[in-house]
Amino acid sequence: MLETGMFPHKQRVFAHVDRNAQAIAQLGDALYYFGELGMQEHRSAGLMADILEEHGFEVARGVSGMPTAFVASYGSGAPVIAVHTEYDANPDNSQTPGVAEHSPIIEGAPGHCEGHNVNAAVMVAAGLAVKRAMEEHGVGGALKLFGSPGEEQIISRPYFVRDGLFDDVDLAFHDHIHREFKAEYGMMQYSVISVEFVFRGETAHGAYPWRGRDALDAVMMMDAAMAQYRGHMEPTMRAGRVVTDGGAQPNVIPARASIWWYLRGATAQQARSLLDRARACAQAAAAATNTEAEEHLLAASWPVRGNRTMAEATQRNVELVGVPEWSAEEQEFARALQRKAGVEAEGLKTAPVPLDGPTTQNPSGNDCGDISWVTPMVRLSFPSNVPNIGYHHWAAGAALATSIAHKGAAAGAKALAASVLDFFHSPALVDEAKRTFKEEVGATVYEPLIPLHQRPPIDRNKEAMAYWRPRQEAHYLSGRPVFV
């Protein structure tokens, strides 16, 4: 076992985080009220990039053709350690924080009901603490923080990997909000392919429908074909969809209709085979309706995996930091929220989850999957959310700009910063992570699921945010987080 105990650098990063607790809270809260949908996180990314630039990071904005993506770098030489996280909100997830009942800030508006606002605050806080420690201790190597937009649409990080932004990275950390405080390794999440099929026919008057070719018929037939196939899919496959265009009004036969799929599989190969089936269903639906099918592969990510060496090192810091001490009011708020959401009212967790083996893979996805196949990667889950409540439900947003989120973020930033520094301080630990990573990946050959010349879909939420942003502005917090 390699030593990653209580070096003095940890005391310093812990003190740095404590000193900046208010700024960390303010940053997460600011993003909460921005509530920006994927690829439209202009305020969120801008604020983080500005803060990091002001504190001596070199910031490249708009990387990989995504205006709300950035890379903030500090230092040079080896190793190169990356931290990456997301900051997008979700549609119709507006929720007033600190209120234990469904109470949108703005009815129907986007909002944070998963906690990516807190993920971002933790990355920035840890990044600033690590940089300060590197300066004070003369630590070599480079730290790169990847602002990774559009996670809910599985967009940004496969593009980063495809475009070579991770070619020089030795190790990567991902931080994500959770109900628990823990590090994990093994296969964690599924592969996801985001693909839209657009069908094109011909308009006609609805009273003379035989004169047209109905694109909506094709959408419905594709959906029916996929629904039949669901009964024969392997248990580790999923296919979810929304109809993104079903025509405009009933007396005009739709010449255009579209259906958007998230195809999930426990392996990249399974997700790919589901895509093959979806293509066949789309072609069959087009043939049956005398329409034409177009495929738009929007984004695709590999399953997320975690490296054991990195997880063990990170877990030691999780246990060193410990779960925050929750007040009676915080516990009571959590229980009230749990009761209201109809789940077990057990309150907040009070101890970290031990690391006693590989994790259980779950069918959700995260676009950081590709990174985890090209470099050793670990995810730190930090305790800023209320147990038993599923993400994207209003109740999952209620704690995200409260003292629960703030305390959990500080704990997360400490564990993350300490873990990154452990690897900067120990070349042997870096080598060990690379060795176990090779073993874990085995014979699997990574190839991006997104095509070589595919451009990221950056405009999908543009109109929605053009509508909501002016309405949200009235609720933005005043004041700007000041890190010292």
The region of 107-115, 179-187, 292-300, 454-462 touching Zn ion under the rule CB under 5 A is 107-115
Q: Burial, 189: exposed, middle or buried (Cβ in 10 Å; 0-12, 13-18, 19+)?
A: buried
In angstroms, give the least distance from the CB of 116 to Zn ion: 6
Specify the long-range contacts of residues 269-276, CB closer than 8 Å, at least 24 apart. 270/191, 270/234, 270/236, 270/237, 271/190, 271/191, 271/192, 271/193, 271/237, 271/300, 271/449, 272/193, 272/449, 274/193, 274/233, 274/237, 274/239, 275/193, 275/195
Say which residues have a Cβ less than 8 Å from residue 468's Cβ, sequence separation at least 6. Answer: 35, 106, 109, 110
In angstroms, give the least distance from the CB of 155 to Zn ion: 13
The region of 91-99, 106-114, 182-190, 476-484 touching Zn ion under the rule CB under 5 A is 106-114
The region of 11-19, 113-121, 256-264, 318-326 touching Zn ion under the rule CB under 5 A is 113-121
Amino acid at position 150, single letter:
G
Alpha helices (H) in 70-197, listed in sequence order: 116-137, 156-162
Nearer to Zn ion, 14 or 302 (CB): 302
Asked if 378 and 311 touch (Cβ cutoff 8 Å), the reply is yes
Q: Tell which positions 114-143 bind Zn ion, by CB under 5 A.
A: 114
* Whole-angstrom distance, CA of residue 102 vs CA of residue 337: 10
Nearer to Zn ion, 145 or 293 (CB): 145
Alpha helices (H) in 264-349, listed in sequence order: 268-289, 308-321, 328-341
Residues in the chain: 484
H or E element: which one contains 201?
none
In angstroms, give the least distance from the CB of 454 to Zn ion: 23
The region of 109-117, 216-224, 235-243, 369-377 touching Zn ion under the rule CB under 5 A is 109-117
Say which residues have a Cβ less than 8 Å from residue 152's Cβ, sequence separation at least 6. Answer: 37, 38, 86, 88, 90, 114
Residues 180-209 vs Zn ion: string with x where CB under 5 A?
A: ------------------------------
3 state SS of 391 = coil
The region of 108-116, 302-310, 313-321, 416-424 touching Zn ion under the rule CB under 5 A is 108-116
In angstroms, give the least distance from the CB of 176 to Zn ion: 6
Nearer to Zn ion, 176 or 316 (CB): 176
In angstroms, give the least distance from the CB of 151 to Zn ion: 6
Nearer to Zn ion, 93 or 309 (CB): 93
Distances (CA, A) of 29 to 62, 207, 410, 444, 472: 24, 54, 13, 41, 14
Nearer to Zn ion, 247 or 383 (CB): 383
Nearer to Zn ion, 152 or 217 (CB): 152
Measuring CA to CA, which residue among 163, 164, 152 is closest to residue 65? 163
In angstroms, give the least distance from the CB of 204 to Zn ion: 44
Nearer to Zn ion, 148 or 426 (CB): 148
Of all residues in this chain, which one has the CB nearest to Zn ion in the complex?
114
In angstroms, give the least distance from the CB of 85 to Zn ion: 9
Tokens of 243: 């109809």
In angstroms, give the least distance from the CB of 203 to Zn ion: 41
In angstroms, give the least distance from the CB of 366 to Zn ion: 6
Nearer to Zn ion, 114 or 370 (CB): 114
Nearer to Zn ion, 114 or 422 (CB): 114
The site that binds Zn ion (CB under 5 A) totals a number of residues, namely: 1
* Whole-angstrom distance, CA of residue 8 vs CA of residue 2: 17
Residues 65-104 vs Zn ion: string with x where CB under 5 A?
A: ----------------------------------------
Contact residues: Zn ion, CB under 5 A: 114
